[in-house]
Amino acid sequence: MSQRWNYKNIISALVTLIIAFVIYISIPAQVKLPKFAYEVAGSFNARTVPYFLTITIIILSIIDFFLSIRMNLVKNITKTDVEQQEENKIKSHNYIGVLIAFVSILLWIIFTIYFGFRLATIFLVITVMLVIGHCKWWQMVLLSFILSIPMDYFLKAVLRVYLPEGIFFE
């Protein structure tokens, strides 16, 4: 039995870690704070959520990196031709799903301008859930409303970030 390492998960975890670290470093340059923000807002300001998200991504990337190494140490990868073909089918489906999700996010950015944040986010969540699969229609509708409307309220009321309303909500 020969043991082969699967470097794909390790490399993706490292790339995600590097990108998250670069984003973490670039937050002060991207999110400018006025001088009074340090005196008035205290520790919660416009940089808090980006810092929280990037730190979370960094931590999860480190965990993923070590779990991938552990899986490679524990698991012997000896596959028959049939198992390898089945795995390749699953991988190609995953790549198509990632591509569809990426295009959906790009379209979400464009649709947000015209249709507003709430409606564009509802369509984005439904699209991503269709890509994930195995979701009932009522779950997609319910989750899309649960994610879009409270997020819109949180951005407006708490963070004072006003996103486009779109042509239907003006």
Q: Is the pLDDT of residue 83 over 90?
A: no
pLDDT of the residue at 18? 92
Q: How is 38-104 classified by DSSP, letter by letter?
A: HHHTTT-STTHHHHHHHHHHHHHHHHHHHHHHHHHHH------HHHHHHHHHHHHHHHHHHHHHHHH
Over the stretch 88-146, which tens digit does the pLDDT of each residue have? 666 656 677 778 888 888 888 888 888 888 899 999 899 888 887 778 888 888 999 99
Boundaries of every domain in the chain: 1-78, 94-170
At 2, the pLDDT band (50, 70, 90 cuts) reads: very low
